[in-house]
Copies of this chain bind each other. A is one copy, B any other.
Amino acid sequence: MDERLAHAIRFLAVDAILKAGEGHQGVPLGMAEIATALFTRHLKFNPKDPLWPDRDRFVVSNGHGSMLLYALLHLTGYEKISLSQVQSFRELGSHCAGHPEYDPAAGIETTTGPLGQGIANALGMAIAEARLRARFGAKIVDHMTYAFVGDGCLQEGVGQEVISLAGHLRLGHLVFVWDSNEITDDGATSLSISENVAERFRVAGWHVLEVDGHDIEAVSDALADVRKDDRPSLIACRTTIAKGIRRLEGQRGGHSGKLIDSDRDEMAGTLSWPATPFAIPNEVAATWLDAGTRSQAEYDAWRRRAATLDGADRASFERTIAGHLPEGWRDVTSTYKARSIVERKPAYSIETSGEVASALYDVIPDIMTCCADLEAPTNHKRQLAAFTAGDNRGRYVHCGVREHAMGALANGMAAHGGIIPLAVTYLAFADYERPAMRMAALMGLPVKFIFSHDSIGIGKNGPTHQPVEILASLRAMPNMLVFRPADAAEMAECWEIMLEHATGPVSLVCARQMLPQQRSDASRENSSRRGAYVLAEAEGTRRVTLLATGSEVALAIEARAILQAKGIPTAVVSMPCWELFELQDEGYRASVLGAGTARVGVEAAMKFGWERWLGDDGAFVGMTGFGASGPADALYRHFNITADAIVTAALALL
């Protein structure tokens, strides 16, 4: 029967791919036995309650093999993955998309496809599980994270970062199951890799087992063994790509070469399978549905244990898993904002961010900080205990100089639930992290990407470290809120909004340099919530509107003083978040932007994208290319980003 269970995966996949006219059969055919071993004997899951917090997490990192996942979810009884969904594989609106799309209620734990992201998500899930286990106890949190992985994921740099970091953190509940079929889209893996991949894992401190991936017993034994080791485990499975379709087995075309009806016919003949597409022998279907109830006793026991948690712990656990913030957390941001307005002290932008983050950390135990060799804008290293191999109570993950893995594991933490992940590095290195940021935006995960050193204001480290185009590139990303606060009050406001924002990621961009406190109103309203607002209204009927963000707001305020002294009524608009401003009604936007006034945008970055706010006639004071190495003051003068330049630009428009 076990072999028949595996064949059910094969035929569902092939039938769906034939119906869709395209797809990737290599993984579902090659990993059918592996998946059968995992889902029928080891995985802890409950298709009737897909969101069970203590379920094992399962990630298909080789996401092109999505039909493997859909077949498993369908066969084990996930309601959202009905037969009609499988039959509409790759059609618009189907839950069975070309690549798996994050939908935990359907059993899809993360979006995968871009290679390496999935295993990095899995690493983040395993960290989240370990931290929550340390926090709430193993009787309530104690599950595994399994990731299926192909050769491509392991060639990607982000995959290599993951191997190194997971081994270092000794995450015993993390298991990668490698589909070692020696084929990528390009052909034989020997075209591009010679190393012994299993050995590479061993060097990184992993527990490695090597088995025949088509031997269900061997795979199952390995899956049992890995539970006994306190290191992360790799089960290296020798497999044949496209196993079952004679024409494509072990071939490059096995990956996603077009299937033809005779492939299916021949396989059905050989494997004694019904000729009708999507038909599954009754006893096979029933056995699969039974597998879907395999964890029922564990599930019930877990619920009983959860019910015995004492009141405070239970409330805390439930709040955390639900992703709700603890009551009263906003006192932190409002207190910080009020104090900054009273004190009116210039402050380093990264330090104000660090102060707010530190205060939030005290009241929100769900926060974990992931850091790629830089601590400043959260200040957490000095404050948070590290999450280490020996102690999972820590909330600070030293990610090393591995920005890409950091971003992707933060995604995994958020997808796991129970953790609010911050990921911290220099803005110049946002590009290293960007593929993960895109996935957070696509999945709508509430990850907080925190960046320091946001412009030429960093000075002498030079253009490699001076972002000039990165603000624009982040603003261009759908579903990403980009914040660039101008002072400590805005910083507190932006953190408040960032924590509230649960439907997607945010990027917070902090200046390295000291910024004067601008806001003086004692209003309790969070002005940043509207994305942009009039920070200083014109005295007299407004003729000029200066639009600025972050560190350049101070220059705009200086320029305003000069223009006002010349008798030109000038307003300054601070724009901490374009995306939120875009959501405001037309009337508010027009009142802020000052329709009919001369508009000058000011930002120490490229103009790209600013046209939206400046209109046909506006001017821009900012960068026109990469920066340079020199003192920050000299650079601002050299690139002509000064109050005088703003004044000149405004006068030219009048």
A interface list, Cβ under 8 A from B: 20, 22-23, 63-64, 90-94, 97-99, 101, 111-115, 151-153, 155-161, 164-165, 167-168, 184-186, 189, 191-196, 199-200, 203-205, 371, 373-375, 381, 386, 389, 398-405, 428-429, 431-432, 434-435, 438-439, 441-442, 459-465, 468-469, 472-473, 475-479, 606, 608-609, 611-612, 615-616, 623-626, 628-631, 634-635, 638
Contact = CB atoms under 8 A, between A and B. Distances in A.
A543 B43 CA distance: 64
A634 B441 CA distance: 23
A114 B432 contact: yes
Given A90-B630, A186-B398, A193-B400, 14 more contacts: A64-B461, A90-B629, A92-B631, A99-B465, A115-B401, A164-B193, A168-B194, A168-B195, A186-B373, A192-B399, A195-B203, A195-B204, A478-B606, A611-B612
Nearest to A467: B438
A164 B462 contact: no
7 contacts: A90-B460, A92-B629, A92-B630, A97-B629, A164-B193, A476-B476, A478-B625
A434 B479 CA distance: 20
B608 A475 contact: yes
A373 to B, nearest CB: 4
Contact of A404 (B157, B374, B475): B157
Contacts of A97: 462, 628-629
Contact of A164 (B63, B115, B155, B442): B155
Q: Lowest 8 CB-CB distances: which A-B pairs, in order? A: A157-B157, A92-B630, A192-B400, A160-B160, A113-B464, A97-B629, A611-B611, A472-B476
A514 B386 CA distance: 54
Contacts of A628: 92-93, 97
B156 A374 contact: no
Given A92-B630, A161-B160, A402-B155, A20 B460 contact: yes
Nearest to A479: B625
B205 A194 contact: yes
Given A157-B404, A464-B63, A464-B99, A168 B186 contact: no
Contact of A161 (B99, B157, B477, B623): B157
Nearest to A623: B478
A477 B638 CA distance: 20
A435 B442 contact: no
Contacts of A631: 91-92
Nearest to A97: B629
B156 A161 contact: yes
Contacts of A164: 155, 160, 193, 195
Nearest to A205: B194
Contacts of A98: 459-462, 465, 629
A432 B156 contact: yes
A462 B439 CA distance: 13
A628 B204 CA distance: 38
A184 B626 contact: no
Given A113-B464, A442-B464, A473-B472, A373 B432 contact: no
A146 B623 CA distance: 35
Contacts of A476: 469, 472-473, 476, 606, 608-609
A462 B468 CA distance: 31
Contacts of A200: 200, 203-204
Nearest to A95: B629
B155 A161 contact: yes
Nearest to A611: B611
